[in-house]
Structure 1
């Protein structure tokens, strides 16, 4: 990456993690099969003041799904199964919603027709932060019991609609174990991690905690990081721990179309099959996003196809993505939740491509949020309001006594001179228009406000 691009990236990262109060973040950019840039910010352990480095190990959450998908595709290459095979041919689970079989491909692409059953949410919140629901599914086999009535929960026929289903990837891990004759974790280690030289990527608690650079997992409570724990026991849907340097080798495999450093793990056609869109996803960030096999595909990222996946287990977050046509990839890891790492990853990729990341819609929106946040006053200070961001939502709060209320504002259009937001109250749409030139002004309903602080 060019020096100017690196400076912009590092300023962006430091500003975002400071605002979100993330303990640390590590990032690596891959170009031409090598690490072109790597850096870490913050502390992997705040209590001991231990700095994070590009070698720091974090949980990668659902980025693990691409490893699981790759493992399944290796078995397909070996002729041990077909993507069209029904899941219940191999596992003792009833998966025939509306009388139609759920296939391996349906699980890989989250198109079984079964909405999320919430196993991962209950397990993670219960073990990490003591949630209201206790779901002690200590091993993958327990998920088969948990899914005993899953087909009754279906709302679409297999292949018709996308529903992100963590449980489906647990089943795929069990399938890999059954057909390979070894534990899922051992298969991935021997067939993917070792050949790629990913020597500091782990599933087991013993191996991870023996690594001297394991990041302490944190929960943010009222903006303050509290040491927590990683939900060990999660496997094929989100249980891998790794570092950005190891993940750079993994990215190089995809950029090399199945081969890296003279080692071929799968045929080029396998990578292309994984990148083929299967179903539109509900979160449309740049438009046209679809799910393939273990990966999300964005067809127009700065005019190029972007293949990517995010991950979160509350106490660790991750983003991995690559642009096949440009030979570029990025890995971003953190030891807390609080800011979408996809934004940092896409910002880095845009810079590496020589594009202006401010053209990305979420970056432009963030810049507007920064401009409009603050305290506003009406004529002669008669009414005061506060505009603030919480999560990804902008709120307008009337703070004058007797008028107190808090209203969410949703973006509609943004230009250099103005930003139009709206809300709905009592079924009626009300606009909130911010003037951004010189001083910031807000027109809302009957009022005109001027930003004072």
Structure 2
């Protein structure tokens, strides 16, 4: 693998998107063959990141929750087609049809996201005033009493990513397993895999010396010191590190076992790795959801299984290709640049593919970077700034007293040409970029503008 190119890519994105620290690990043929940290785990103290730096892995926790449910099903202690209300005191019958355990695992309950996690995190971190202090799964159950009335589809019909559903699954693990969800995962997954520095509880984190600090990037791009939102549970509450997570990924690659530890049978693991329903966001193009895992069958002709996580102050990615015995773990501070992209970039390089040419997301990222800059009309009579914001471009026209911002929505992006459109007074106005080796021109409304330099 071209580690120099990967490292250059990571450092460029850290600089551009103001990411203080990132850790990455690559698993191949049962070994952690590459692991390193970039940047700082604590900017103020000048402490460096390492492969052992601990971050919140967010929704990758869902893979641990799904495996716990599957393990209980394998032991005949529950059935995936049982109604949820069999295990917890909550009626969930959208349009009169019961929500099954399977529906929670696949986010197909028919109930759109209720926003508990977003409100909890924003409230705990003091970002918004709508604090939702749901301290336990029982609080979430009480919060969901009328959730079936919020449904827009029958169970199994549509995908709606539902954090609350995975909180309910954690409660089922606790009820059936006879211990708390956290203790069940520790006993049945973390300890057997030797993941001794993976934690759910704040008191355990406080005893560890290699933990990533928490930052939020402010409106002006400044790093604001924050704290980790402890209290999220089976939908996104696990904290771990690249070294520990390499053990988890290696177990998945090895079909449910690692060394002498058998976590789940191959048959039940493969239930988790099936596509049950398409997801609306597609980085590769054919993704669907399994049980706590996202599945693509078209990653350079191979089956890729992955999941990402975002707990606002930390983000993460886990992906693996069983046939290649290959996996990648990425952990990052702040949510400004998706670690999923770093993971897919690394996997592409390992498979001897050029991600900037062969994966749409990187091709478009590279092209739109070229489109940013200061643009002028003939004689410099009109000057505007083109700036990226997520998947969009912004036209920014600034005077001494005012600033007008127009959003450009992408329609077609190629290396030599890109077409966007703006909505002005209810009318679609095309914006066409002609991209040459040395010059970029923009045709927009009645103007032709030439890119004169960077922003």
TM-score range (shorter-chain normalised) is: over 0.9
1:167-178 counterparts in 2 under 5 A?
Answer: 167-178=164-175
- Which residue of the partner structure matches residue 322 of structure 1? 320
The CA distance in 2 between the partners of 1:35 and 1:386, in whole Å, is 45
Q: Select which of 33, 48, 51 maps to 1:51.
A: 48
Moved more, 327-336 or 5-14: 327-336
Q: CA deviation at 1:145?
A: 0.5
Quote the RMSD (CA, aligned, Å).
1.3
Q: Give yes or no for the alignment of 1:214 onto 2:211.
A: yes
1:283-302 counterparts in 2 under 5 A?
Answer: 283-302=281-300
Q: CA deviation at 1:96?
A: 0.9
Q: Select which of 115, 126, 134 maps to 1:118.
A: 115
CA contact (8 A) 1:41 1:53 kept: yes
The CA distance in 2 between the partners of 1:171 and 1:119, in whole Å, is 13
- Which residue of the partner structure matches residue 268 of structure 1? 266
The CA distance in 1 between the partners of 2:66 and 2:9, in whole Å, is 33
The CA distance in 2 between the partners of 1:337 and 1:127, in whole Å, is 17
Moved more, 255-264 or 58-67: 255-264
CA contact (8 A) 1:385 1:400 kept: no
CA contact (8 A) 1:58 1:334 kept: yes
Change (3 A) 1:404 1:447: farther
The CA distance in 1 between the partners of 2:37 and 2:133, in whole Å, is 35
- Which residue of the partner structure matches residue 103 of structure 1? 100
Q: CA deviation at 1:449?
A: 0.6
Q: CA deviation at 1:400?
A: 5.3
- Which residue of the partner structure matches residue 78 of structure 1? 75
Q: Specify the SS of the correspondent of 2:81.
A: coil
The CA distance in 2 between the partners of 1:379 and 1:410, in whole Å, is 25
- Which residue of the partner structure matches residue 451 of structure 1? 451
In the superposition, the TM-score normalised over structure 1's length comes to: 0.97
Change (3 A) 1:324 1:425: farther
Where does structure 1 lack aligned partners over 5 or more consecutive residues?
none
CA contact (8 A) 1:169 1:236 kept: yes
- Which residue of the partner structure matches residue 86 of structure 2? 89
Q: CA deviation at 1:403?
A: 9.1
Change (3 A) 1:295 1:390: same
Q: CA deviation at 1:404?
A: 5.1
Q: CA deviation at 1:393?
A: 2.2
The CA distance in 1 between the partners of 2:135 and 2:401, in whole Å, is 52
CA contact (8 A) 1:86 1:102 kept: yes
Q: CA deviation at 1:325?
A: 2.0
The CA distance in 1 between the partners of 2:133 and 2:415, in whole Å, is 51
Deviations 1:152-199 (A, max 9, x none): 101100011101110110011111011111111000001000111111
CA contact (8 A) 2:392 2:410 kept: no
In the superposition, the TM-score normalised over structure 2's length comes to: 0.96
- Which residue of the partner structure matches residue 380 of structure 2? 381
Q: Select which of 26, 31, 46 maps to 2:28.
A: 31
